[in-house]
Amino acid sequence: MQKSKNIKVGIGFATGRKSFQRVLRTNIYNWNESGLVENKRISLNLFVAYDLNYHNTKITDYTNVHPELVEQIDSSKFIGSIAIQEEIDYLIRENVINIDEARMIFGKGYAAKRNAVLYHAIKHNMDYLVFMDDDEYPMAVTNTRKTATWEGQFVLSNHLKYITQADITHGNHCGYISPIPYMEFNDTMTEADFRSFIEVISNDIINWDTLKTVMKNGGVTYADTKILTSDDAIEVQETNHAKFISGANLCINLTDSRRIFPFYNPPGARGEDTFLSTCLSERKVLHVPCYTFHDGFSTYNHLLEGVLPIRLKFIKADTKQITTRFYNACIGWIRYKPLLLYITQPDRYGEKIEEMREQLKVTLPKICAYFGQPDFINVLAELEKYHKNVEKHYRDFLETKRIWAKIMEHFAHHQ
């Protein structure tokens, strides 16, 4: 009789890209190589929440996994709108939550997709859940020599090594993490102007000195060799009421569902990992020594075929696609900044918003001129809109946590 596997690991993707199958294939080969597939004690279970509207994809772009790959994992669950509706019906039938509360958790947006993955992993009795992104690959790139040097990374086994001692573990990211392209400053926009703009729209984790290095490297973040050669996880300390984590290369300990928080972001904004960071005061968070390569501009798909470039391209603000990506990032950032300030610096909230307003009035015309893109002026209007709604978004954030706690309580008693 086959002995049951005693560590159940969920691997979660919230995805909307056609390249998902290639990323999944690379990761499954990686788990095999690291010995996890053969390990009789560990069961690997895939949870994929997909969005057909994001890039106009169809269900089979996600579900049609090659049989050879299916054999190497223990189960897979694909979560589309029908699967989510079934869970909403179940929770209402069990009198756990009502339809309005269900919409708060499983509604629209990126946080809702992550919540669907988290929910299914808990419902299926996973011990741990590792979130991976569909544009991140299990490898690290350094530039300590004249050319780029590549190194494989066993992301999953690294998290499993440390998660038993923590509530959350998160790794590092290299590659094209920042949507900010390489720029040469001039009289239209000086370095001081751009620095002022970035400090207004970004969060505490993005600091100018780091960004400047990344920009000098052509928009590439290289892996730190000290981290690559380390065996130590570092406990994340709280700064400004948050223990900052990333949304992928992230592992959540599910062994006690009552210790888990949901993801949340204001409508049309990002920042679901940042808002989760603000809930972790009484949780143990470890930063673990493994990297993923973030292919933020989708220019390095051939890495998945084993082609390793010796030089990484500079990402310059000289195409509409790059400028639009930067613009969209600015809008996404400014939309969540008011709520982040409201949660982390409530006493200085009004003063901070006023400072941001004044700095944007000075810097936005220069940004518009530099990029030849008048739309950047919208950043100020978005700030005003999200500032006006900040109390509502804060209530929604608290409400999301309250509703989620009811669902977790239900699972704690029924499993």
Give residue-wise pLDDT tens across range 163-198. Answer: 999 999 999 999 998 888 888 899 999 999 999 999
What is the mean pLDDT of the segment spanning 74-94? Answer: 96
Question: Is the residue at 164 inside a domain?
Answer: yes
pLDDT of 232 strictly over 90: yes
Dist. CA 118–CA 186, nearest whole Å: 47
Q: Is residue 326 part of a domain?
A: no
Per-residue confidence at 129, pLDDT binned at 50, 70, 90?
very high
- The mean per-residue pLDDT over the stretch 335-341 comes to 95
Report CA-CA distances (Å) from 140 to 123, 220, 228, 406: 33, 12, 8, 40
User: What CATH number did the domain enclosing 115 receive?
Assistant: 3.90.550.10
**pLDDT recorded at residue 204:** 64
Give a yes or no: residue 338 inside a domain: no
Please report the pLDDT score of residue 214 as a whole number: 87
Give 326's pLDDT tier (boundaries 50, 70, 90).
very high
Mean pLDDT of the chain: 93
Span 320-339, mean pLDDT? 92
Q: What is the pLDDT of residue 116?
A: 97
Tell whether 351 is covered by a domain: no
CB atoms within 10 A of CB 362: 12
Look at residue 86 and give its three-state secondary structure: helix
**Binning pLDDT at 50, 70 and 90, where does residue 1 land?**
very low
**Any domain includes 232:** yes
For the cut 70, the answer to whether the pLDDT of residue 205 exceeds it is no
Q: Report strand pairing: 168-175 vs 149-152.
A: unpaired
Cα 10 from Cα 176, distance rounded (Å)? 26
Q: What is the DSSP letter of 5?
A: P
Q: Apex CA 62: angle with CA 56 and CA 67, to 5°? A: 150
Total domains in the chain come to 1
CA distance 13 to 117: 7
350 domain residue, yes or no: no
CA distance 219 to 177: 8
**pLDDT attached to residue 371:** 93
- Quote the pLDDT of residue 299: 82
Residue showing tokens 């772009």: 61
Give Cα separations from 331 to 37, 128, 146, 206, 271 (angstroms): 41, 33, 37, 16, 12
What's residue 125's pLDDT? 96
- Of 202-206, 208-212, 299-303, the poorest mean pLDDT is in 202-206
By residue range, what is the domain housing residue 147? 7-180+207-313+399-414
Per the domain annotation, does 381 fall within a domain? Answer: no
Is 301 among the domain residues?
yes
